[in-house]
A = this chain, B = another copy of it.
Amino acid sequence: MKINTAIESFDEPLYLESGRILESFELAYETYGELNEDKSNAIVVFHALTGSHHVAGRYEGDRKAGWWDPMVGDNKPIDTTKFFVICVNVLGSCFGSTGPMSGKNPLRLKFPVITISDMVASQMKLFGRLGIKKAYAVIGASMGGMQALCVSIEYPKFTDRVIMLASTYATQAWAIAFNRLAMEGIIRDERFKNGEYEKGDFKEEGLYGFAIGRMAGHISFLSPASMDRKFGRNYVATDGLYELFGRFEVERYMQYNGYSFAKRFDPLSYLYIIKAMNIFDATRNYDSLAHSLAHIESKMTLISFKEDKLFRPREMEEIRDTLVDIGKGDLVEYVCIDSDYGHDAFLVEYEKFDFYVKRAL
């Protein structure tokens, strides 16, 4: 599999949904496989909140492969012997694309709020530069699914196939509440300095409040049942049961993941991306979900996971039902995967859903 990583600069303004303007911007992206001659074999993968453009394969020295490695590669469900796969780091993120800490004079809290539509609009400019007028398919899970839905509504001619997993047409209160924990944790941490920290300040020791917010995130990605299976009531062997700070294994897991994440992700980027997710609403600017979805021309494959509480099956079912109601039922395939992994299922139980992805392609 041929992997290519690059950064593309745009010296042109990006008009944001908020009315603000990004005078120029950069996008980091990665591609897998080769674009065919008529540029008709591109599959766009959209990443989730903390993901990056590094979907598959390993960089030299890497312990872990890209975040969706089991899905993307030679002879894998998204088969790079046939398709040219591209993933772009979203605007606002911290892996090379323009965000609040980019550049020599980062905008920090003056960086404009960006939306899912803005993320997609910026990527469309990149696809244009690469000569991809029409993608074979677009696919995304969680926040990636929001971008995929956005493409289907705002760029209905861009692709014939849209695949959305573990996502929604509008973020609901439960997910917003979890995001608030991270937001509150970050802004209340003294070391955040109201956004005036230095790059690298948290490399050795992550922002505590951010780590706690991320721990909350880990709860929201799982389900009570998957936690039972994963941790049960196992207690850390070296901790005392009657020590106030003795820990169950689930607590050690949260600490480990929370603090290590806070060292490698930028807190300002996190604030901006969860904001984009929170305010995502495919019905905005339309009278109703029906009016919004009426633009859709692509075949939609919607995949939910039964115990996902962040983006519940019933939210996807509303998309399906609405498409049926407006006479577009032939365009939609909906499947609810029986999994008790919660939201995390799209990164865990590949064998339960990869069939539907392959079929859609």
Q: In the complex the two chains form, is B224's CB within 8 Å of A312's CB? A: yes
Contacts of A309 in B (CB 8 A): 224
Contacts of A188 in B (CB 8 A): 208-209, 212
What are 15 A-B interface contacts by the 8 Å CB criterion? A170-B233, A172-B227, A172-B228, A173-B230, A173-B248, A176-B251, A177-B227, A177-B254, A178-B219, A180-B215, A181-B215, A184-B211, A189-B208, A224-B309, A244-B272
Q: In whole angstroms, how far apart are the Cα atoms of A250 and B187 in the complex?
A: 18
User: What is the distance, in angstroms, from A61's C-beta to the closest C-beta of chain B?
Assistant: 32
Number of copies: 2
Q: Which of A209-242 contact B (CB under 8 A)?
A: 209, 211-213, 215-216, 218-219, 223-224, 227-228, 230-233, 241-242
A289 at the interface (CB under 8 A from B): no
A90 at the interface (CB under 8 A from B): no
A8 at the interface (CB under 8 A from B): no
A198 at the interface (CB under 8 A from B): no
Contacts of A232 in B (CB 8 A): 172-173
Q: In the complex the two chains form, is A184's CB within 8 Å of B255's CB? A: yes
Q: Which of A17, A228, A233, A272 lies at the interface centre, i.e. has the most chain B CB atoms within 10 A of its CB?
A: A233
Contacts of A223 in B (CB 8 A): 174
For chain A, the bracket of interface size reads 35 or more
A279 at the interface (CB under 8 A from B): yes
User: What is the distance, in angstroms, from A166's C-beta to the closest C-beta of chain B?
Assistant: 14
A338 at the interface (CB under 8 A from B): no
A243 at the interface (CB under 8 A from B): yes
User: What is the distance, in angstroms, from A272's C-beta to the closest C-beta of chain B?
Assistant: 7
Contacts of A335 in B (CB 8 A): none
Q: In whole angstroms, how far apart are the Cα atoms of A172 and B272 in the complex?
A: 34
Q: In the complex the two chains form, is B216's CB within 8 Å of A173's CB? A: no
Q: Which of A157-199 contact B (CB under 8 A)?
A: 170-174, 176-178, 180-181, 183-185, 187-190
User: What is the distance, in angstroms, from A277's C-beta to the closest C-beta of chain B?
Assistant: 12
A113 at the interface (CB under 8 A from B): yes
Q: In the complex the two chains form, is B244's CB within 8 Å of A113's CB? A: yes
A39 at the interface (CB under 8 A from B): no
Q: In the complex the two chains form, is A281's CB within 8 Å of B233's CB? A: yes
Q: In the complex the two chains form, is A177's CB within 8 Å of B251's CB? A: yes
A49 at the interface (CB under 8 A from B): no
A304 at the interface (CB under 8 A from B): no
A328 at the interface (CB under 8 A from B): no
Residue in B closest to A278 when the chains form the complex, CB atoms: B248
Q: In the complex the two chains form, is A212's CB within 8 Å of B209's CB? A: yes
A109 at the interface (CB under 8 A from B): yes
Which of the residues B176, B189, B224 comes within 8 Å of A174, measured between beta carbons?
Answer: B224
A139 at the interface (CB under 8 A from B): no
A105 at the interface (CB under 8 A from B): no
Task: Mark A73-110 against chain B: 1 for CB-CB distance below 8 A, else 0.
Answer: 00000000000000000000000000000000000010
Residue in B closest to A254 when the chains form the complex, CB atoms: B180
Residue in B closest to A243 when the chains form the complex, CB atoms: B113
A271 at the interface (CB under 8 A from B): yes
Contacts of A291 in B (CB 8 A): none
User: What is the distance, in angstroms, from A202's C-beta to the closest C-beta of chain B?
Assistant: 14
Which of the residues B212, B241, B242 comes within 8 Å of A212, measured between beta carbons?
Answer: B212
